[in-house]
Structure formats: structure tokens, C-alpha cells
Structure 1
Amino acid sequence: MRSWEGSILIAIGSTYANLGDYTNAIRVHQEALEIFIELEDLLGQGNALNEMALAYRNLNEPAKALELFELSLEKLYQVEEATSSQSGLSLSSEEATTKGNIARTLNDLGRYDEALTIANEVLDFRRQEGDLFRVSVTLNDIGNIYLNLGDFENALSFYQEALKIRISQNNLEGQSITLARIGAVFEQQQRTDLAIIFYKRSIDVTETLRAEVVPEDYQESYLVAVDNTYRLLAELLLQRNRILEAQQVLELLKVEEIREFTRATYTTEGLQYDPLEESVVEAHDSLMAVGAQIYPCDPDCDQTLYDQQIELEAYYDQQVLTFEETVRRGRAEDDVFYDPTNLASDAFDIVNAQPGTVLIYPFVQEDDLWLLWTATGGVVGSVKVETIDHAEAELGRAVFRFRELLKRQDAQSFAELKRTGQQLYGWLIEPLKEELEKNNIQQLVFAQDRTSRYLPMAALHDGDQFLIERYTVSTVLSAALTDTTDRLGDVNSTQALALGLDQAISGYSRLPNVREELDGVVKTDAADPQGIYPGQVFMNNDFTFATLSQQVRRYRILHIATHAEFVPYRDGESFILSGTGEKLTIAEIGSLDTQFDNLHLVVLSACQTALGDEALDGTEIAGVSSYFLGKNKAEAVLATLWRVDDEGTSLLMQRFYEILATGQVTKAEALQQAQLSLLQGEEFLTERLAVIQAGQTPRGSLVPVNPTEDEPSGLSHPYYWAPFILIGNGL
């Protein structure tokens, strides 16, 4: 029984590792190791040590990983001695696996010659064993070692051999990895345009794989590699000033991040190639296809296959030569390459839907921060932010500090909040200031990346005023997932479904203002003196999953006022608390997506994101929102980045709806004006509504009624109004 317990723990630890939770994987494998030591089970000890070492390697602790791999190998040698195994092969399969891991770890540590010796020993065994899948893995490993040694010719040779096997086995995951490694060879050779082709090809294979494989099958290490390929390609395209292609890659990356978080299937159109790139891709694909045919029968294949291979090798070399000569002659900007207007049409749809709009893509790399932008009229651009050196870490620290300061309301903290807000403004807005002014921009739409997703952009400060005092602000998951064609409609034709919880339940505190909030939003009958939009309200015990399921398809607005949390890493831990105290997971609610077809706006007025440390990337915000947004679902989600004072939430929500109901403003403008009403300490909306209803300012150019210069207090502090973010169609 104890042996079974150890085996089960190994399986549990491997599951943690596949999900990227390496700390828990190590803990569980350590428990398994202790059981196997107690049982004197050498093979079990070797397996547990190997799994622990893999986890340490993924935690970027190669020295500790190497120590454990070597201990694992010792245990396996002891097993072989004890059983007097005589397989006729130089190694056992388990020994070869562990030695392969040792070679990879030595490569991590820069001990390339040692790594190469061991990897070649493993390759010899794998060839004798006849397992082509494992042969391809080892070939890829050896290619990685040669790449680190700067021996590009050998690196390409081993990668190409691995790719032929992976094509012959229809191993799409392996193909995408190897194609990216070939791209890395060309990148290190400073053959950037060739590197771009192979990174593109890798992503194309990944997109094909996404349409064929259940997402739960992916290991976290593979997902990280895929993410890196998207980012490497985007950066190379930006270096070549191929802005719209870079934007297209970032669009695919955002969909990829949603897929990883939700484990749902999203299909995309993939990347585009210009004609010269296409010729290289076709020549390489043909060469690899013939190589895949030859591999199983080599050296006894029909001679016609070898002749075809020789011919295709020459053709591929010629296509590469032609491509690189064309690029060197500077024709990359001529008609040979795609007309940029054929790309990024989804982004143009967003900015052209309302004059004075710009779509901004912050692109956060380890060292560099780029800003890509598309404005009304097809104006595009990019800029590398020169005032930040280690972008991912510095931005993460600044966002984390900004969020911490927002919780405090003393004068000293507010002064630091403004300074940090100015620093963030300097990175994310200031580099575009000239373009924003030149193009008369009034609406900022952000497609956020990494930790920027946690930023309440409205609260950034330029030294004189908050960003929301100058622009409307909204975000999108991606341009491709945003529908700008639908509008909410007038008050009388727009029905609202409101679900709320105001009593303490299941360890969660009361939300005493929820009933007032919902009563102020929904007019339940003609005699109701308070509500704005006609509809129904379900409170407390009447707010159940069944109620949501049965009612939601009839309404254009879904307003949920209850405790909710967006939890990093896994959608299964994010939830909305029902009126009965049941945690409705976001995935459960997402299962109702066929009922969301009529919805236009979803409001989650008491949710929060768990910003635990500066290393998080905010994918849970995009992931959770994606359950409500998209094709045949709602067009917009209004949510909060943190749970704020119940009274403040209630007041802002009521003002948002009251302003929206005038029919004179967009959703983004209604949110802006509601936020400004709190910022400027307005007791009533009388003056603000009068300006809006009188049409004294054209739609899209609303400005603060009374610009504020004083230090905010009470509900005017950004803690109360800044967390509200509008995602999706802001019109």
C-alpha cells in the first residue's frame, strides 16, 4: 500500500509541475521520496529525485537540479546492479532519460562540452532503442548545445534532423519548438529577416495545434516557450519597423494568453507572409517533407527520393539567397512586401469607430518597453521607451507600489502616489504625447500586457492632472475579440438583469449598499420612482446560478453586485459569490455563453484582483473577462481591479447609469464622467448632466466640469473611483 501511495504522490507532483506550480511539485515529490526511502525502493527513489530535479530546473535553480539528477542516476545504477539487467543496450531507458536531463542542465550552467558528451551518449542509445520521438528530443537538445557554443552549422543540422522526424510523426508541438530554435539560430547570426520567417512558421504550427488538441494537454514549460516565441517575433518585427505585423503578433499573443488561462479553444487566422517570405517557407516545407519520407527507410530508400532531396536542398538554398539579397538591396519597403493596410484591420475598426481614438499596445519585454499605436485614419507608429532599462521588473515594481499607495489616504502617501503615477505616465503616455496632440486624440484604448493589466490607467498623473481628466480610458482583450458594431440602445428598449448580495454569508462581510445600488439602476415596474433601466432584481437567496441561467438571455445588461475574485494562474479559482453563499466559478458561468448572445454590457461591481506580488502578469483579468466577451457574447465588461468602499461603488454605479441613460455619451464617456463626479466631490450630478444633455460639448470631447487641483479626500480619492475599468466595446 505504501508503494502505491508513493506512486500516487509522484502523479500528483507531476500534475502540479504541468500546471507550473513547481514549489508544490517539489513538496509532494519529497513526500514520495521519503516513502520510497522507507521501503528501500531504489527505482522509486530515482524517479522521485528526477521529478524534483525537473521542478528545480524549471525554477531556474540548475545547480540544485544537477545535484538531484546525479543522485537519481546513482539510484538507477544501483537498480541495474541489483537486478543484473542485461538488455544488450548501453543504458536503461530510465538512465538515458536522467542523463538527458543532466545534459540539459549542464547546458543551462554553461558547461557545454560536458553536456555535448553526455547528450551524444544518450543519442546513441535512443537510436539503438528505436524510439524516434525520443531521438528527436535528443537531437533538439544537441542543437541547443551547439547554438550556445556558437556552432551554427551543426546547430542547424541537428535541428533539421529533429524537424524531419517530428514532421514524419505529425508531432506539431515538437515542430513548433524546433522551428523556433531554427529562428533563434538565424537571429544569433544576425540574419533577422530569416529569423522572422521561422518564428512566424513556429507560431503558425502552434495555431494549427491549438485547433486540434485539447488545451489541458499542454505542459506549462511548453506554454512558456510558446509565449517567448510570440514575444521574440514581435520584438524583431519592431526592430525592422514592421509595426502592423508586430501588432498582429501581439493580437495572437493576447488570444494565446486567454487560451492558456481558460483552457478554452479560440481560433485565429494566423500570420501573413509577404511573397518572398512565402517562397522560403514553401521551399523549406518541401525539403522537410521529403526528409520526413526518407528518415524511416534511410539508407535503403528509393533513389528518386534522394535525388528529390538534393534538388530541393539546392532550391531552398537559392530561395534563401534571393530573399536575403532582396532585403540587403533595401527592397523590403517596396511593393514586394505586404501593403500594411491589409494588416490589423481589427485595430482599424476600433479606432475608426469613433473619431479621436487611439489604440495603444504596451509591449513589455524583460529589458525593453515598446509602445505600439494605431489612430483614427490608419495612422500607426511605435516607440521604444528609452527611460526604462529593465522594463519587466521596473514596471512590475512601479505598478505594485502604485497599487499599494492607492490604499492609503494620508497626505504623504498621496504625494508619493502622484510621483509614482508620473513615473508610470512617463513610461506609458509621455512618449506618445506629441502624437496624441497632433492627432487630436480624446479616447485612449489600451490592449494591456503583463503587469500593466493591473494598472488603473485613469489614475496616472502628468504632474498637473489625472489621465481621466484629459481622456476617456478603456481597454480591450484584443482587437480581434472586440465588436464595435453593436450599441446598447435607448433606455426604454434596454432591459437590465440585476443580481445582488447584501448580507454577510460564508465568511464574507455585508455589502449594505448593494440593494440601494441595484434599486437605483433597475426600474422594476412603471411605478418604481428610483430605477433607470427597466428590468428585474434578484437579491440574496433569489440570486442563484439557476436564476442567472434562466433569466440572462432576455436582457441587454447584466449587473452583478456581490463579492467576486479574479485569481491568478487558474480560472477554476476565480469566482462570483451567489446570494446563497455558493462560489460560482467563472468557468461555470462561462458555460452559459450560449445564453449571453443578447447581452451587450456586463457589470461586476464588487470584484477584485489578487495582486500578490510584482511578478504576476494579470492574465486572469483578461481570462475571466473572456468568459463574458467575444463572438455571440457580451460586447463590454465593466469591472473593478479591487473591491472598494461599498458606498463609493454604489454611488459611482448609479451615476454611470444615469449619465449613460442620457443617450448623449458612450459607455467610456459615461464612466469617465461618473469618475470625475467623484473626483471633484460633486454632491449631485445636476450641473454635469445639464452640460451633457444640452449638448454643449460634442460627443467624444467631454471635459471636466470643474478641473481639480486640490488634494482629494473622501470619495474624491482615486482609491474610490480609479479601479473601475471598461473592457471591450467602449461605445
Structure 2
Amino acid sequence: LEYYNTALPLYRAIGNRSGEATTLVSFGAVYSALGEKPKALEYYNTALPLYRAVGNRSGEATTLGHIASLERSRGNLQAARTNIEAAIKIIEELRTKIDSQELRTSYFATVQGYYKFYIDLLMELHKKDPSKAYDALALHISERSRARTLIELLNEANAKILKGANPELIKQERSLLQQIDARDTLRRDLQTSSNKNDPTTKATIQKLTTEISNLLSQYQEVQAKIRTTNPQYATLTNPDPENDILKLPQIQQQLDKDTLLLQYSLGKERSYLWAVTPTSMQTYTLAGGEEIKKAAEKFHTSLQQETISDLSIKNAKQLSKLILAPVADKLALKRLVIVADGGLQTIPFAALADLTANKYQPLLINHEIVNLPSASTIAFQRQQLTKRQPAPKALAILADPVYSATDSRVTGRPANSQIAPNLELERSALNRSARSLKRDGWDRLKNTAIEAKEILKLIPSTKSLEALNFDANYNWATSRALTQFRILHFATHGFVNQDQPELSGIVLSLVDKKGNPISGYLRLGDLFNQDYPAELIVLSACETGLGKNINGEGLVGLTRGLMYAGAARVAVSLWQVNDEGTSVLMQEFYKQMLQQGKTPAEALRAAQRKLWESSDWHSPYYWAGFTVQGEWR
């Protein structure tokens, strides 16, 4: 208070009204913490018109948030609601004024606390008066708080904003990613070296960090230029959160009588679960987000074992009790559509314990399970899919690439031992990614060839494309020919960069038949430039369903790129899956789809169940890693 009292007249003396308002808000925060609520409110109310006078909308939103919190603590719930609604209205307006997608996403991540507060407040109001449907409004606010950039991306994808962009800009984008990758590789190597504390090494690490930051800014500028120079970009409007983000009746329209939506919102003190059918909705209060996150991490870790232990069963039951116990008797035999939050995004619900069974039985035995980033994304996808004509051919498979000149399939010798600078950068990045997965380079995945050949037996050769060995390369992966297929299947190595999602990728053939190095790194950025109007894209690779967990957006990674490219649904993995087990699972998955006529979600469940019933593949480690995201119909 002493320091603020010294600062306030100085701001006033120089006419800095924004600084004056910020100081007044700081006074309010101190008095609120001291329990002097009326005095705190007085300071907030003095700051508010100052922020408005100078047009500081962010400061205005912050102050309204403070007032909402204070009013709630005094029991004035409707006053709190009025103020938090006003704050969120400003936040939504500010968000739409940010052109850069990355900055828009990062800004939205910083304001998630407002949405969580509003949800919690609405649920408190619902307890006091259940007749006012505050819980349904809380569900709408939960939708408004998540996957908004993805929804805008799906809108963009329909207008083909990034696809077919200026080739020179695409070239710049790719070059910048390679430069970022190379510096990031060198920086990580130095950070783990024995002399990392040496002053010279520290200075080099700092220099590389600055360079990466600058290159990222350039990369984002190029992406913004690609968008804004597209003639159709100006006709796109940002989704109106009030009207375009789904409310309860619209969410219910996306469901059928056999489907139950389970939507989670994890909060600091308590979390919430909405269980929605076409005709009903129930809400439940769950434990705090941190308790659920810890249980989810334990469950995820214990699944990555080749045998089922008492500990893994205990962890499955513990998490199930935290997040499913309130609805255990409502699940029946329904399809479960999961909109997860926080740490729940990385766990396979299929392997959770069915609480109605006496002993451990995975949830998949009685339930087909589908994941969505938000309920609104399925509505956006469906709007786009209604106009799409099915592709004429059935299946394209890229599998068993050749990663090394020492591979027995290489029949010649390289014409030149020199490697081009751009490929040198690519190899450096791929080597670092391999080390981050605790791999010594990219070993051949022999079972992917078996997987591919067995799957291809299910389809006439006139309706399929077989790209194995050297043909499983970057050129085929980015070929226009792939637009002709309803299913695309990539059986190879994949990885996710948790720090910079745009550097996540799929590894394809890195050498030709003579052992000459070729480009084989299909990045997330490349996927955004592809046109894959597929009914299903399968990434039969490690950790392809993970990504950087960004508040308000969820996991940002390869799944997002594939949805942008046009996939109606994707099948991806949540950990480093077993090569042979994955091959067995995928063969059964395709038999269920192509011979039994099941949807991808139904087929995955049937395949997982078959492995669960097998003594060789009984452990969830072999079958639970894969999930289906997107359209379930």
C-alpha cells in the first residue's frame, strides 16, 4: 500500500490514466485480500471509467473480473454474473481483433480463468435454483472456452485458405521451419551436454533461443500472409460465440438415442461433468482438477506395461471412480462421446474400469468410445461433409519406409556422399526427435509391411494404392492422387513436439533405392497444406494423438492438421505402441470395417475387444493406445 500510495500521485501528475487505473486495481486487490471488500470495490469502480476513457479494453476486462470475484465472495451472485459476462464479452471482442492465429491462441489461453470462474458461478446458481437451467448455460460456456481456433481452422479449411496458397510463401514457410528445427536441435543438444553450465555454452543457448523466437515470429507472419492474401479470407467471419458455438438443444441434435455425451471441465477446487442425451442432461460435481490430473497420469503410466498388474487395475478403478462413478448407472450399453479436459485428454477411456462389473473389465466391453475436442467441432465438420462426394477408391497405404542407406532393401551406392544443406537440417531435426523418444535413430518397423499386405488383401487392387518400402515417401504422401481414396493409412514412425507442435511429424522414406538421401519429414505444417478429403485417416504410429496441451485449445498436434486437411475422422495413438501388437490390431480393425461393414469407431472397439480376449495381447498396452476422433456416424 505504501508503494502504491507513492505511485498514484506520480501517474496522476503526468496524466497517465492507464497507469493510474492499474494502480487503483492493485489497491483493490490488496484490500480484497485483507477482507475489506467494500473498500476494494470502491477502488475497482474508480478504475473502471479510467480504463474506458483511454480505451484499455484488456484492463477493463481485468477489473470486471475482479469485481465479479469480489461480488461472489459477498454472496451477490447475480452481480457477479453481470460483471463476468461483461468481462467475457470484451475478451471475445479482443480475441477476434488478433490476426495471428498463434497469438490469438496464446491470448485465449491466458483468459481461461474467466470461463472457469463463470462455469463455477453458474453451477452455484444452479444449485440455488435448478429451474433456471443455469447448468445448460454452463455447458454452453464450456463450449465457448474450448477448441475455438480449431473451429475457425475447420471454417478456413472449407474455404481452402491454406491449400493451394502461393508456392513462394509455402516455400518460405517450409524453409523457416527447417531453420527453427536445426537451431532447436542444437540448443537441446547443448542443454543436455556435460558442459551445459559453461559460460560460453550458456551464451550460445541464449543466442539460439533468441534466434528461434525471431524465426517463429517470421514463420507466423508468413502464415498470416498466406491467409490474408487469399481472396476468400475476407469473406470468412469469426464464429459468433453466442450463436455459432452450440447450446444444449443444438448439442442434443448431434446425438442419437444410443449416444451419451460426457463433457468434462476441470477446475481448481471442483470439476464438472455434463451427461447429455438427445432428450436429457444431468450435471455432476467432481473432485478438483489437480486430483483428477494426478490419477490420470498414474493410469496412463501404468497402461504402458506388457502385463496387467494389480497396480494398473487399482489405478484404472481409482480414476474411474473419480470421473465416472456419478454416471455409472446411466451408461447402459451406449456409445460414449467424450469431450475431455486437461489431463483426461491423454488417457484412453476404453481401458477405464467398468464400475458395474465385479472385477476389472475395461469400458470398451460394453461401450463404443469416440473422442471430440468439443461438441461444436462435430457440428462444423458435419456442415462441411454434407456437400462432399465420396472418393471413388477405397484405400491408400503408405507403410514400411526405408530410413537408412544400410537397410538391406537398398540395392546401390549413393552417387554422392555429400548431403544437401536442407536435408542436413532435416536429418538433424529427425535425429533429435528420435533421441527425445529414447530411440537410436529410426529403426525399420517390419510388422508394418505385414500389416499393409494383410489389409490390402481385403480390397480389390483396382480400388487400392500400395506404397511400400521406397514408395512410402514424401512425394506420395503429398500427391494429389491421395484425394481419390476414402481411407488413408500411414504405418510408420511418428512423433510429437510438445514445445513447438508445428514441428511434429511423420517419418517417411529417407533414402532412395541407391541410398541417396531424400526428404522424408512430413511436418504438421505440411499437413495443413494437403487436401485429404478422406472418410478416415489412420496414423499407425507412436504418440500421434498427443500434442502440446494449450489452455482453451486442448492437444495441438497431428490430429488438428489431419482434420484441417479434410479427414472426417482420425485414428491415432496415445503412447509408444508395440509394433507387432499394432499390426495385429490394425488387421482386425480393417476386417471389422471392410468385411463386417462396421463404422471406424465400432470396428476399433471390436478389434480392441478381440485383443483383450486373446492371451497374447490381453494387456491394454497392446490395444488401448488407439482412439478414434471425429465423426462416429
TM-score (norm 1): 0.61
2:390/2:486 contact within 8 Å kept: no
Shift of 1:255: 1.8
1:605 aligns with 2:556: no
Match of 2:241 in 1: 270
Unpaired runs of 5+ residues, structure 2, are: 127-133, 154-215, 225-236, 405-430, 432-440, 511-518
Amino acid of the residue matched to residue 606 of structure 1? A
Amino acid of the residue matched to residue 311 of structure 2? E
2:105/2:149 contact within 8 Å kept: no
Q: Kindly tell me: are residues 147 and 546 of structure 1, through their superposed partners in 2, closer, same or farther at Cα, counting changes over 3 Å?
A: farther
The separation in 1 between residues aligned to 2:545 and 2:598, in whole angstroms, is 32
Number of equivalences: 495
1:468 aligns with 2:367: no
Shift of 1:371: 1.4
Shift of 1:251: 1.1
1:147/1:185 contact within 8 Å kept: yes
The separation in 2 between residues aligned to 1:452 and 1:257, in whole angstroms, is 20
Matches within 5 A, 1:506-585: 506=431, 507-522=441-456, 526-527=460-461, 534-537=464-467, 539-540=469-470, 542-544=472-474, 547-548=477-478, 550-580=480-510, 582-585=520-523
Q: Kindly tell me: are residues 490 and 258 of structure 1, through their superposed partners in 2, closer, same or farther at Cα, counting changes over 3 Å?
A: closer
Q: Kindly tell me: are residues 424 and 723 of structure 1, through their superposed partners in 2, closer, same or farther at Cα, counting changes over 3 Å?
A: same
The separation in 1 between residues aligned to 2:534 and 2:281, in whole angstroms, is 32
Q: Kindly tell me: are residues 217 and 202 of structure 1, through their superposed partners in 2, closer, same or farther at Cα, counting changes over 3 Å?
A: same
Q: 2:302 aligns with which of 405, 409, 414?
A: 405
2:266/2:341 contact within 8 Å kept: yes
Q: Kindly tell me: are residues 185 and 587 of structure 1, through their superposed partners in 2, closer, same or farther at Cα, counting changes over 3 Å?
A: farther
The separation in 2 between residues aligned to 1:484 and 1:717, in whole angstroms, is 35
2:303/2:312 contact within 8 Å kept: yes
Shift of 1:663: 6.2
User: 1:278-323, CA deviations, whole angstroms, 9 ceiling, x for partnerless residues?
Assistant: xxxxxxxxxxxxxxxxxxxxxxxxxxxxxxxxxxxxxxxxxxxxxx
1:453/1:618 contact within 8 Å kept: no
Amino acid of the residue matched to residue 423 of structure 1? Q
1:350/1:484 contact within 8 Å kept: no
Shift of 1:123: 2.4
Q: Kindly tell me: are residues 404 and 347 of structure 1, through their superposed partners in 2, closer, same or farther at Cα, counting changes over 3 Å?
A: same
The separation in 2 between residues aligned to 1:253 and 1:500, in whole angstroms, is 38
Q: 2:87 aligns with which of 177, 202, 211?
A: 202
Q: Kindly tell me: are residues 511 and 144 of structure 1, through their superposed partners in 2, closer, same or farther at Cα, counting changes over 3 Å?
A: same
The separation in 1 between residues aligned to 2:56 and 2:476, in whole angstroms, is 43
Match of 2:566 in 1: 633
TM-score (norm 2): 0.70
Q: Which has the larger radius of gyration?
A: 1
Match of 2:589 in 1: 656
1:544/1:579 contact within 8 Å kept: yes
1:452 aligns with 2:344: yes
Match of 2:61 in 1: 176
Match of 2:228 in 1: none
User: 1:392-427, CA deviations, whole angstroms, 9 ceiling, x for partnerless residues?
Assistant: 2322222222222222234xx522211111111112
Match of 1:588 in 2: 526
Q: Identity over aligned residues, as a percent?
A: 24
Q: Kindly tell me: are residues 249 and 541 of structure 1, through their superposed partners in 2, closer, same or farther at Cα, counting changes over 3 Å?
A: same
Q: 1:363 aligns with which of 262, 265, 279?
A: 265
1:714 aligns with 2:610: no
Shift of 1:679: 1.1
Shift of 1:351: 1.6
Match of 1:426 in 2: 321
The separation in 2 between residues aligned to 1:726 and 1:173, in whole angstroms, is 39
1:405/1:417 contact within 8 Å kept: yes
Unpaired runs of 5+ residues, structure 1, are: 1-115, 273-340, 682-712
Mean Cα displacement is larger for which, 643-652 or 568-577?
568-577
The separation in 1 between residues aligned to 2:326 and 2:623, in whole angstroms, is 26
Give the root-mean-square deviation of aligned CA atoms.
Answer: 3.6
The separation in 1 between residues aligned to 2:391 and 2:550, in whole angstroms, is 43
Amino acid of the residue matched to residue 328 of structure 2? K
Amino acid of the residue matched to residue 719 of structure 1? Y
Match of 1:498 in 2: 397
User: 1:479-535, CA deviations, whole angstroms, 9 ceiling, x for partnerless residues?
Assistant: 11113575999999453333334444551121112223233334799457xxxx634
1:729 aligns with 2:625: no
Q: Kindly tell me: are residues 497 and 138 of structure 1, through their superposed partners in 2, closer, same or farther at Cα, counting changes over 3 Å?
A: farther
Q: Kindly tell me: are residues 150 and 512 of structure 1, through their superposed partners in 2, closer, same or farther at Cα, counting changes over 3 Å?
A: same
2:151/2:377 contact within 8 Å kept: no
Match of 1:347 in 2: 251
The separation in 1 between residues aligned to 2:108 and 2:382, in whole angstroms, is 31
The separation in 1 between residues aligned to 2:545 and 2:396, in whole angstroms, is 27
Q: Kindly tell me: are residues 470 and 527 of structure 1, through their superposed partners in 2, closer, same or farther at Cα, counting changes over 3 Å?
A: closer
Q: Kindly tell me: are residues 622 and 727 of structure 1, through their superposed partners in 2, closer, same or farther at Cα, counting changes over 3 Å?
A: farther
1:568/1:619 contact within 8 Å kept: no
1:564/1:576 contact within 8 Å kept: yes
Amino acid of the residue matched to residue 362 of structure 1? Y
The separation in 1 between residues aligned to 2:23 and 2:506, in whole angstroms, is 46
Q: Kindly tell me: are residues 663 and 493 of structure 1, through their superposed partners in 2, closer, same or farther at Cα, counting changes over 3 Å?
A: farther
Shift of 1:465: 1.4
Q: Secondary structure at the match of 2:495?
A: strand
The separation in 1 between residues aligned to 2:544 and 2:554, in whole angstroms, is 8
The separation in 2 between residues aligned to 1:457 and 1:490, in whole angstroms, is 33
Q: Secondary structure at the match of 2:241?
A: coil
User: 1:652-688, CA deviations, whole angstroms, 9 ceiling, x for partnerless residues?
Assistant: 122212211246432211110011111112xxxxxxx
Amino acid of the residue matched to residue 621 of structure 1? L
The separation in 1 between residues aligned to 2:325 and 2:481, in whole angstroms, is 46
The separation in 2 between residues aligned to 1:559 and 1:541, in whole angstroms, is 14
Q: Kindly tell me: are residues 576 and 135 of structure 1, through their superposed partners in 2, closer, same or farther at Cα, counting changes over 3 Å?
A: farther
Match of 2:24 in 1: 139
Shift of 1:374: 0.6
Matches within 5 A, 1:144-159: 144-159=29-44
Q: Kindly tell me: are residues 400 and 497 of structure 1, through their superposed partners in 2, closer, same or farther at Cα, counting changes over 3 Å?
A: same
The separation in 2 between residues aligned to 1:444 and 1:546, in whole angstroms, is 36
Match of 2:75 in 1: 190
Shift of 1:236: 1.5
Match of 2:612 in 1: 679
Q: 2:277 aligns with which of 368, 372, 375?
A: 375
Q: Secondary structure at the match of 2:82?
A: helix
Shift of 1:342: 8.9
The separation in 2 between residues aligned to 1:216 and 1:124, in whole angstroms, is 39
User: 1:214-259, CA deviations, whole angstroms, 9 ceiling, x for partnerless residues?
Assistant: 3444696x65541111111111112223222111111122225869
The separation in 2 between residues aligned to 1:679 and 1:524, in whole angstroms, is 23
Amino acid of the residue matched to residue 351 of structure 1? L
The separation in 2 between residues aligned to 1:661 and 1:195, in whole angstroms, is 55
Q: Secondary structure at the match of 1:351?
A: coil
1:243 aligns with 2:135: yes
Amino acid of the residue matched to residue 312 of structure 2? L
The separation in 2 between residues aligned to 1:480 and 1:663, in whole angstroms, is 31
Shift of 1:604: 1.2
1:680/1:716 contact within 8 Å kept: yes
